[in-house]
Amino acid sequence: MKVHERIRRYLESNGLKMNYVADKSSIELKRFYRIINGDSILSADEYEQICIGLNVELNFFKDNFLVSKNKTA
């Protein structure tokens, strides 16, 4: 599952409105919608802003986020 999908699922399961999280994250609402819908790439800075806005650790949405695709290493 992609990071934006994990964030979206978290918002939905906790009853959080996107405009509230966008505001708390200091991300323009239209940009936030594009990120969460997978229409735009989520930058590291935006990821950090969302985590801060949600008051969660930076590795909260990790779940295989940084897993190497090189299985021979």
Q: Identify the structural domains of the chain with CATH numbers, from first to last.
A: 3-54 (1.10.260)
- The residue ranking higher by pLDDT, 22 or 71, is 22
Which pTM was predicted? 0.78
Tell me the percentage of the chain whose pLDDT exceeds 90.
68
Give dist(CA 20, CA 71) in Å, integer: 40
Q: Is 90 exceeded by the pLDDT of residue 37?
A: yes
Q: Note the pLDDT tens digit of each residue in 55-66.
A: 988 888 776 444
The closest of 64, 60, 38, 40 to 51, measured between CA atoms, is 60
The arithmetic mean of pLDDT across residues 44-69, rounded, is: 78
